[in-house]
Amino acid sequence: MATIDDGDSTDDRSSRLEARQLRTEKADQDKRMQEMMSLLTLQVTSQDQQRQYDRERDERNYKDQQEKEERIRLDAQRNHEMLLLSMQQHQDSLKADRQAVAERRIRMGRDIPILPKLEDPRDIQLFMRQFQADMETFKVPQDQWTTMLRPLLDVKSMEFSRKLSIETQQNFPQMCKELTRLH
């Protein structure tokens, strides 16, 4: 019987050894599975974190883009309003200038009496002194004197004044000298 027992013991030992090996292999497999699960969990967590980071980055970029577009829109609107204001100021300035010119014309027409025409070209010096006195009395700007003088001249003097240089035509003292020399 001892031999049978020894055989059973050997079989028992082998079975136990196999069972131990199976348990060890199963424990190793379980450990590897847990490690793989841990790695997968880390990967999933890492991917989730990356997706969250990407989503937050995209949201920041979108928000930055929206803010930039809003700044551009506001700048364009401000520039447009400034341009409109500038145009309005320019129009107001032109209107004021036109009104001042119109008022000056009305004032000149109302304040300056009808001036006598040059009747006798031999009296040109007397006529010019009287004309100058009238212009000073009515405070007519000197740059307008020659313009007001021309229609008062006789035909010969008027034709002569047209032949003078533009500078002379616009300078009252020079024009007086030239007309005096003519007569």
Tell me: the pLDDT tens digits for 22-34? 899 999 999 999 9
Res 90: pLDDT? 93
For residues 135-160, give the mean pLDDT.
Answer: 88
Specify whether the CB–CB gap between 183 and 121 falls below 8 A: yes
Q: What is the DSSP letter of 164?
A: S
Which of 132, 140, 137 minimizes the C-alpha distance to 176? 132
Q: What local confidence, expressed as pLDDT, does residue 113 receive? A: 62
| CA dihedral of residues 15, 20, 21, 27 (deg, nearest 10) | 150
For the stretch 91-114, pLDDT in tens is 999 988 888 877 776 565 555 667
Is residue 48's pLDDT more than 60? yes
Instruction: Please tell me the distance from the alpha carbon of residue 114 to that of residue 61, in angstroms, as a whole number.
Output: 79
81, pLDDT greater than 90: yes
What is the rounded average pLDDT of the residues 58-64? 95
Terminal Cα-to-Cα distance of the chain (whole angstroms): 175
Q: Which two tokens stand for residue 85?
A: 């204001």
Residue 143 pLDDT: 86
Mean pLDDT of 31-43: 91
Give the residue-averaged pLDDT of 54-77: 95
CA 37 vs CA 24, 25, 52: distances in Å: 19, 18, 22
